[in-house]
Structure 1
């Protein structure tokens, strides 16, 4: 099942079905993610470079995403497209430390939080619900269950995981150039069947196991979710730990524990990083509204412009004026 309306002028048909792209901004990258509502917050210092490879077979889409900076990701999968994520770098997912090789089930409509303090490397297999039900009915059954996040960590075969990773790397590196649509369809069908074989080998025959969640971990995860939602609602307003604690009816220490358990950094560090990331997003689009660095800094309640510039430069490796100038120059 291939997507109709293949674009013209973008190289071969097969290059569209199996493609590789690079991004220097989380906003540009997330716009390319069909079916996801995703927000990234850069947490570690440096300039961003995202490598994204994709194989699209219609009802199954394979992605590999890599970048070299620590970040926090908040995402929700929309529609009838669950995903299987295979972590190729260690992460903290919904407050749970997951090692390399972990297989996670991403359920549509459920908000998930992932943090990586190492270079980010993840393999995603987005698969239509009906296809998943045919291929792995035991996994598909978990989609409608109201489970805690640890129940979506799937048992897997490490040898099969390594084989899938190697096959994916070879596929996305080769990107065969095929101009004929019928030949490309035949290729895509064969690759889709091979992907199915790899996926079934990874999952094996065992259904997802039912684990007993730690009450403390669940409570901290719920507190972190509530705090993140309050921060999101605040928009450009500066939020403090004390105001969060008052709004949620818990102590400052509970907020601190929740953030360090789920996000891996303290709440003050996270909130500063998020405001800086939002300011960066607006600076990159500042040419549209003719906004200045000062206007955007004050919009996000950075009252000291010199300190804002210092904090921004330390996180992103360039001054805010450099970001705004580059956006204007790119426009020409």
Structure 2
């Protein structure tokens, strides 16, 4: 019988610095009404000078490890970090995170799928547990995305924030609360320019030779909206089919917190009642790879997720990439999202 992955811990972290809509109104020619009506966001968090993605990842991972139960051995034997903002272009950030967590010389690697990164990483972890390559996996989504935003771009400054979320998986059985039951993943490289940082990679290695706009993150908002709704809906339906669920059997939809309108539309397309669609975007904004695990951590801490709940997650990101997962929720002792001094 195929081994199943079971959720054993969850945790989230956001940096102390809060950027309010009032702050942004002072920077840009905009209003509170304009920001909220288009994004649903009131506040977002930003890393302080000297903070990086590894700092966020370590804090969220510690929270997840502290909440983990029934591991039956050493903490974890593999770390996967989903991020688009590694500490350096080389090497990967995950080994540094593992070292700072005191996890010795276990394997650790980064995975890049932008806002779909955590769902991709969760699927990889599930496959490695099924294959017997690992028994306990720490999966982290973390991004210091404000570090790659154009300081003069109102459209991106109002949407994105920094944060991290982490989940601990262990080998278990499909019938257990917390078992991962179905995945769907996809990608379309023909849409690579919808969400991009054009310069700084091997194709255009010297950003100083690029136009100013190409040195920063950019997205084509209206096109991204259309593709996000379509792909997040399609992939969620596919994951439900793998799990054998109907929409009326889903207790919670916890989708990528892209913007409030996308969340509302995806829920309606899936015929999941609005009161079952969880959102924390108002307080944290779009935290990219951290979005799904941070939302799960916040929902668990608030008592929104209960043992046995059928949970559906769905995401869309640059690449373009998309993915969804279906699982039940376990009994977990989850603290409120951590803030404050970094470890």
For this structure pair, what is the TM-score category when the shorter chain's length is used for normalisation?
under 0.3
TM-score by length of 2: 0.26
TM-score by length of 1: 0.26
Greater CA radius of gyration, 1 or 2?
A: 1
Greater helix share, 1 or 2? 1
> Which protein, 1 or 2, shows the higher relative CO under an 8 Å CA cutoff with sep ≥ 6?
2
